[in-house]
Amino acid sequence: MDFSGKTIVVTGGTSGIGAATALAFADAGGRVLISGRNAKGAAKVMADAKRLSGRIDFVQGDLSDRATCDRLIAEAVKRLGRIDVLINNAGIGSRVSSLETTDETWRSVMTVNVDAVFYLSRAAALLMKERRSGTIVNNASELGLIAEPGKFSYCVSKAAVVQITRCMALDLAPFNIRVNAVAPGDTRTAMMERKIRDKGLPIERGVELIALRTPLKRVAMPLEIAKVMMFLASDDASFMTGNVVAVDGGTTVTGPPDTDLAKYAKRSRGRKAAEASAR
Ligand SMILES: NC(=O)c1ccc[n+]([C@@H]2O[C@H](COP(=O)([O-])OP(=O)(O)OC[C@H]3O[C@@H](n4cnc5c(N)ncnc54)[C@H](OP(=O)(O)O)[C@@H]3O)[C@@H](O)[C@H]2O)c1
């Protein structure tokens, strides 16, 4: 895919899927601006871009602060001249049920995962509307399409991202602005590692167990999600808008994954023992 001369803003570009996406766009000739709180993570991504002979700029800020959203769009216009592509990727998880969700958890998840997506999309779309050109790609989740117990505010927030995508796609279609989303399944990033650590499992064992519940029997690597976001942002997807593309190894085809990693650990120990005794 060729993004020469295109300008791209990637939120949450300091790690994981966002970093892979920013680097892929830079490698394809795009001028990229990433955002996030972590300056060290950003410095690594910018250095990696240089090695690919690309260029990535960084705006530091916390997207749960409303002013950061406005500042990011203003900086994008100042540094890039215009926004051709907005990738709303930044997001945070929550691993508690509805009954255990405090007001604070609910607000913090909604602020980053939903409010910021709306504020940034609206601001970028107002600029794109002037030029009657532009595209927005949101990073939702398979958990915006199916529900999983114990992840209340995350699931609700990602379902909201799905509807932001569909509603804005309709509102913006008359201005030739496309809006789509990816709904990734389990992807090997810091977010996945935090989830495994919370369960008290060694990282590699946790990854193995998560892979077991996915039809393709593995987790995704960040670039596999990044490539689909790039496709949706590209002219190759010129007739696509309002789509939410699951990139999940088949999970949403089978239904909600069983999340009890401890149970998986027991099952896979049992299977290994059975295999050993059969040998
Ligand atoms: N990994 C998965 O299995 C998976 C599956 C489905 C969907 N997703 C979605 O993919 C997206 C990226 O997640 P990831 O897996 O790549 O995790 P990650 O490595 O933890 O990346 C999350 C990114 O979001 C940014 N971010 C979080 N809170 C922020 C805040 N308050 N202000 C500004 N930036 C903030 C982080 O930047 P800083 O740390 O620099 O602030 C970081 O760059 C998320 O929307 C997530 O929901 C992930």
- The pLDDT, as a whole number, for residue 254 is 87
- Per-residue pLDDT band at 277 (split at 50, 70, 90): very low
Give the domain 7-185+220-248 fold.
Rossmann fold (3.40.50)
- Centre of ligand 1 from the C-alpha of residue 49, in Å: 19
Please name the amino acid found at residue 142: E
Domain with CATH 3.40.50.720 in the chain: 7-185+220-248
Out of 9, 11, 14, 162, mutate this one to test ligand 1's pocket (max ligand atoms within 8 Å of CB): namely 14
Catalytic residue among 58, 119, 152, 154: 154
Q: What tens digit of pLDDT does each residue of 162-173 get? A: 999 999 999 999
- For residue range 89-103, what is the model confidence (pLDDT) as tens digits? 999 999 999 999 999
DSSP assignments along the chain, one per residue: ---TT-EEEEETTTSHHHHHHHHHHHHTT-EEEEEES-HHHHHHHHHHHHHTT-EEEEEE--TTSHHHHHHHHHHHHHHHSS-SEEEE---------TTT--HHHHHHHHIIIIIHHHHHHHHHHHHHHHHT-EEEEEE--GGGTS--TT-HHHHHHHHHHHHHHHHHHHHHGGGTEEEEEEEE-SBSSHHHHHHHHHTT--HHHHHHHHHHTSTTSSPBPHHHHHHHHHHHHSGGGTT--S-EEEESTTHHHH-SPP--HHHHHHHHHHHHHHHHHH-
Ligand 1 atom closest to 158 (CA): 47
CA gap 188, 249 in Å, rounded: 13
Global pTM reads 0.94
Ligand 1: does its nearest atom lie under 6 Å from the Cβ of 38? yes
Task: Note the pLDDT of residue 53.
Answer: 86
Task: Give me the pLDDT at residue 278, please.
Answer: 42
The ligand 1 atom nearest the CA atom of 90: 24
Nearest to residue 11, comparing CAs of 67, 73, 55? 73
The per-residue pLDDT of the chain, averaged, comes to 94
Given a cut of 50, whether residue 48 has pLDDT beyond it is yes
Residue with tokens 């910018």: 46
For residue 182 and ligand 1, the question of a CB distance below 6 A is answered with no
Nearest-CA residue for atom 47 of ligand 1: 91
User: For ligand 1, what atom is nearest to the CA of residue 222?
Assistant: 16
Mutate which of 189, 193, 224 for ligand 1 pocket (most atoms within 8 A of beta carbon): 189
264 is catalytic: no
Query: Which residue's CA is the nearest one to ligand 1's atom 36?
Result: 12
The finding on whether 223 has its CB within 6 A of some atom of ligand 1 is: no
Rounded distance from Cα 230 to ligand 1 centre (Å): 17
Does the pLDDT at position 151 exceed 60? yes
